[in-house]
Amino acid sequence: MASPAGGKLHTSGLADFLEWFSRESTLEEFVSWRSNPATVRFLGAIRALASNIPPAYLNRDSVELQYGVTSGLGLAASLIDDPTSVYPELFKKSASTPGADADSELESVYTVEPDA
């Protein structure tokens, strides 16, 4: 699970999200939130913005910037719609798996030697 590490005083929002939703027990919580009518409308608005950027935010001089905005909104929509489409490893840790509680540190995996 690649995510930006937080500091000692402030945890990365993404690292916290990944740690929280890595547990099987949070799947029901996510599905409940995802099916909330307000969430459904919020996701619909993000999808619409990705397709039809308001003129005030449209930058006709930079195709790269426009692509970045569209890509960012698309990624946000994917994360809201189904976070496993972005992070397939979510909702898999059991309560007995090390690192499943909110106070544990993220697991470190070293699969490639530093000289490789």
pLDDT digits (tens, 9 = 90+) for 43-99: 999 999 988 877 777 777 887 888 888 899 999 999 999 999 999 999 999 866 555
Q: Note if the pTM is more than 0.85.
A: no
Residue 78 lies in a domain: yes
Quick check: 115 pLDDT over 70?
A: no
Q: Residue 7 falls within a domain, yes or no?
A: no
Domain containing 41: what range? 13-85
Average pLDDT estimate for 7-35: 91
Into how many domains does the chain fold? 1
H helices of the chain, in order, are: 13-20, 27-34, 37-51, 63-81
In a domain, residue 112? The reply is no
2 within a domain of the structure (yes/no):
no
Please indicate, yes or no, if residue 52 is contained in any of the structural domains: yes
Q: What percent of the chain has pLDDT above 70?
A: 77
CA atoms within 13 A on the CB side of 111: 3
Percent of the chain topping pLDDT 90: 47
pLDDT of residue 106: 47
Cβ atoms of residues 12 and 5 within 8 Å? yes
* Domain-located, residue 47: yes
Query: How high is the pLDDT of residue 104?
Result: 46
Question: CA 51 from chain center: how many Å?
Answer: 20
Q: Whats the size of the chain, residue-wise? A: 116
110 pLDDT above the threshold of 90: no
**Does a structural domain hold residue 63?**
yes
| 34-58 CB burial, b ≥16 within 10 A, e <16 | eeeeeeeeebeebbebbeeeeeeee
Q: For residue 114, is it within any domain?
A: no
